[in-house]
Structure 1
C-alpha cells in the first residue's frame, strides 16, 4: 500500500458524508507508520465509539475508505471463527462481523454489506507472519505468502465491490 496522508484518508470515504469524514478520528500514530508496504489496508478503531472502525484500501488507482460497525456483544471464548479476508482463525471475539453502509443512494436507504474480519484489523500482518494469532490460528497452506497476500487482497476487493452494487 502506498503512504497515505490525512487528506488522502479523509477524501477516500465512500459510505459517509464529507462532514462525517472530516470529523472521524484518524489512527493515533499515522505519521509513525513505516510499514506501508506490508499493509493491504489501513484499519483502526474509534476509541470513543467501540463499535465503530475504519478501513482504507487501494482499489486500482484509487483509495477507498469505509466506515464499519461491529456488534457490541462479545462472543464466548469456546467458539473459534475464521476471518473472511485472511482466513485466520481466532477464539472468542477475535473475529467480528463488521458491516458497512453501502455507497450512494443504497446506503442512504439503509442498505449495508457485512464481512467476518479479524477484530483487531491486522489481517495483513497475520498473512505475512509479522503477527501471530492464538495457536491453531493459521492453517498450514501450500500457497506461498505472496499467493496468500493476493488472495487476501482479492477478498478485500470483492467486499469493496459489494459497496457499489
Structure 2
C-alpha cells in the first residue's frame, strides 16, 4: 500500500496530492485482472487536493464497476466496487454515504469484496451509494442557507460524509 498521508485543513481530513501510480498501488481488494483494466478518474490531473476528502468514481469503461479511495489508518486504501443489478426507479432512495435523498434510479447497492483472506473466501460488504458516485460533490452543492443555518452545518455535512466513506472503506480493509 502506498504511504499516502492525509492532512487536516479546516473541519476535515484532506488527501495530500498523489500520482496515478500511488492511487493504483493503494488498491486493497483488486485482483491483478481488475487492476489491469481499472481506470483513474477522467479528471484525475485536475483534482483539487485541498478540497478532496476522498475519491469516488465510476469506471468509464466497465458499467457497474466503481472505485473509492480514502484514508484508513494513516494511509490511502482504494477499493473496487460492483453495482448490483436492478433496483427501483419509482421510489426515492437514500445514499448511505452522503445522506442525500435521490430519485430511485440514482441510488444503487454497491458491494466490495473484502481485502485479504476474507475476500478470497467470498466475503463482501455493501451499501447504497449515489449511482454516479458523486457524493463528494452532492454535499458541496451550494444551497441557499436558511435563516437558522450557518456555514458550519455544511462543513459538518462534508466531514460526516468523509467519515462514513472512511468507515465503509475500513470495513473492506480490516478483517473484522
Distance 1:36 1:93 in 2: 30
Q: How many residues are paired up? A: 155
Q: C-alpha separation between the residues in 1 aligned to 2:57 and 2:161?
A: 18
Report the equivalent of 2:171: 162
Q: 1:45 aligns with which of 53, 58, 65?
A: 58
Please tell me whether the aligned partners of residues 8 and 63 of structure 1 are also in contact (alpha carbons under 8 angstroms). Answer: no
For residues 94-133 of structure 1, the aligned pairs below 5 Å read: 94-129=106-141
Aligned alpha-carbon RMSD (Å)? 2.2
Q: Which residue of 1 aligns with 2:44?
A: 30
Structure 1 gap ranges (5+): 133-139
Which of structure 1's runs of 4+ aligned residues deviate more than 6 A? 140-143
SS of match in other structure, 1:144: helix
- Give the drift of 1:144: 1.1
How far apart in 2 are the matches of 1:119 and 1:66?
16
CA distance in 2, matches of 1:32, 1:13: 21
1:136: which partner in 2? none
| Distance of 2:132 and 2:168 partners within structure 1 | 18
Report how far residue 146 of structure 1 moved.
1.7
Q: What is residue 57 of structure 1 aligned with on the other side? A: 70
Residue 57 of structure 2 contacts residue 134 of structure 2 at CA under 8 Å; is this kept in 1?
no
Could you tell me how far 1:109 is from its partner in structure 2? Answer: 0.6
TM-score when normalising by structure 1? 0.83
Q: For 1:67-94, what per-residue CA distance to the aligned partner results, in whole angstroms no more than 9, with x for missing partners?
A: 0000232532x21111111110100211
Task: Tell me which of the two structures has the higher relative contact order, counting C-alpha pairs closer than 8 angstroms and 6 or more residues apart.
Answer: 2
1:103-157 deviation digits (Å, cap 9, x = unpaired):
0000011110001111111112111225x7xxxxxxx978612211221122112
Cα distance in 1 between the residues matched to 2:108 and 2:57: 14
Q: What is the distance in 2 between the residues matched to 1:16 and 1:66?
A: 7
Q: Secondary structure at the match of 2:76?
A: strand
Q: Which residue of 1 aligns with 2:8?
A: none
Q: Is the 8 A contact 1:44 1:53 kept in 2?
A: yes
Under a length normalisation based on structure 2, what TM-score does the superposition of the two structures give?
0.78
Specify which of 24, 47, 51 is matched with residue 10 of structure 1: 24
